[in-house]
Amino acid sequence: MQHSEILSSAITIDFLVIIPFVYFLLIRKKEIPKITVLTSFIIGLVVLSFLLPSEHQSLLSLVKTYFLPLIELGIISFVIYNVIKLRKRYRSQKNQGDFYTVLKMTTTEILPKTPALILTTEISLIYYAFIKWRSDKRSKNQFTYHKSNGLVSIIAGFTLVICIETVALHSILTKWNLIFGWIITFVSAYTALQFFALAKSVIFRPHQVDNENKNIDLKFGYFTELTIPFHLIQSLEVDSKDLPEDKRVTYFSPLGMLGGHNMILHLKEEIKFSGVYGIKRKAKSLAIHVDEKGVFYKTVLENL
C-alpha cells in the first residue's frame, strides 16, 4: 500500500513537474508560446485524474485544491493584462487602417498568429454586427465590390434562410433531444449572425489601390483581406467568364462563385493568405469583383 502511494506521488510529480519542465526546455528558444507550458500541465492533471486510482490521488488532490486556483487566477490576470494592452495598442495604431486591419495588427503582436486571427474574427463579428452602422467617406482609390453583383442581397438571403430553418429545426429537434436541439439552434443562430456581420462589413471594407505603399489591398468583408505588392502583379485582365475547371484561378471570395468576378489578377508567383478564422488559402491567379472595373483597371495599370 505504501509503495503504491509512493509510486502514485512519483507519477504525479513526473506529469505535473518534470514533463512541463522538459517541454519548456524544448520550446524556450522557439516561437511556440511559453503559455503552452500551462496547457501541458493541465493535460497532465486530466490524465492523472483518469489514470490514478482515487485512493492514490492524495498529492493530486492537494494540487487541485491549492495550486490549480492560483493557475486560474494567473490565466485570468494574463487575459485582463492583454486586453488592456490590446486596447492601448489599438488606440495608438488607429490611423494605420480600418478597424479589422488595425485589430489584426494589434492581436498578432500580442498573441500567436492562429489565436490572434480567431480573436480578430470574433471581435470583428461583434463590431460589424452591432457597433458599426455608418460608412466612412470613400477615397478615389477605394473600390466597392458589393453593388453590381448583388452580393449583399445574396448574403442577406442566406441569413434569412438560416433563420427560418433554425426556427423549424428547433421545434423538431428539441422534441427529440432538448440539449442537442439547443446546440444546433445556437450554432445556426451564430452562423446567421456571422452572415449578417459579413453583409455589413463588405459595404464598409472596400478594395484599395495604395499608391503610397505600392500595393493593392483586397478585402471581402471581415472574412478575409490580402495585400499584394505591385511588383508581384504580372497582369490584370477584365474577364467574367466561368473559371477553368483545373483551378488555375482561385476565387478571392470565400463564398466562391457566389461572390462573383469580373477581373482576374495574375501573379508572378504563388502566394498564401489567411481567410476567416485564419484558414490558409493559396493562389497564383485571383478572380475578383470590382464595381468600377474600368477605373480600377486603369488605376492598377498606371502603377505597374
Query: What pLDDT does 268 receive?
Result: 92
Q: Using alpha carbons, list the distances in angstroms from residue 82 to 86, 95, 212.
A: 6, 21, 32
Domain's final residue, options 173, 204, 235: 204
**What does the pLDDT average to over 188-207?**
92
Residues 211 and 290 in one domain: yes
Q: Tell me if 124 is assigned to some domain.
A: no
Mean pLDDT computed over every residue of the chain: 83
In a domain, 134, yes or no: no
Does 137 or 215 have the greater pLDDT score?
215
pTM > 0.75: no
What's the domain range around 188? 142-204
Q: Are residues 149 and 188 both part of a single domain?
A: yes
Share of the chain above pLDDT 90, in %: 25
Same-domain check for residues 20 and 86:
yes
100 inside domain? no
As a whole number of angstroms, the distance between CA 252 and CA 274 comes to: 11
Give residue 263's pLDDT band: very low, low, confident or very high (50, 70, 90). Answer: very high
Q: Does 270 fall in a domain?
A: yes
What 3 state SS string does the chain have? CHHHHHHHHHHHHHHHHHHHHHHHHHHCCCCCCCCHHHHHHHHHHHHHHHHCCHHHCHHHHHHHHHHHHHHHHHHHHHHHHHHHHHHHHHHHCHHHCCHHHHHHHHHHHHCCHHHHHHHHHHHHHHHHHHHCCCCCCCCCCEECCCCCCCHHHHHHHHHHHHHHHHHHHHHHHHHHCHHHHHHHHHHHHHHHHHHHHHHHHHHHCCEEEECCCCEEEEEECECEEEEEEHHHEEEEEECCCCCCCCCCCEECCCCHHHHCCCEEEEEEEEEEEECHHHCEEEEEEEEECCCCHHHHHHHHHCCC
- ∠ CA 209-261-252, nearest 5°, is 65
What pLDDT is attached to residue 10?
80
Does residue 19 belong to any structural domain of this protein?
A: yes
* Shared domain check, 200 and 211: no
Assign 207 a pLDDT band (cuts: 50, 70, 90): very high
Which has the closest alpha carbon to 123: 109, 104, 110, 105? 104
Which of 204, 232, 250 is the C-terminal boundary of a domain?
Answer: 204
Same structural domain for residues 222 and 192?
A: no
Question: Does 273 lie in the same domain as 188?
Answer: no
For the segment 37-47, the average pLDDT, to the nearest whole number, is 80
Q: Nearest CA to 259 among 162, 159, 156, 146?
A: 146
Q: Which residue has the cell 448574403?
A: 155
Domain presence at residue 129? no
Residue 85 sits in the same domain as residue 151: no
pLDDT at 115 over 80: no
Beta-carbon contacts of residue 106 (< 8 Å; ≥ 6 apart): 86, 89, 90, 93
- Same structural domain for residues 197 and 240? no
212 and 185, same structural domain? no
- Note whether 219 and 275 are same-domain residues: yes
Q: Are residues 50 and 7 in the same domain?
A: yes
Residue 121 resides in a domain: no
C-alpha cell at 97: 487602417
Are 248 and 182 found together in one domain? no
Q: pLDDT exceeding 70 applies to what percent of the chain? A: 88
Please state the separation of Cα 74 from the chain's center in Å: 25
Residue 85 forms part of a structural domain: yes
- In the chain, the number of structural domains is 3
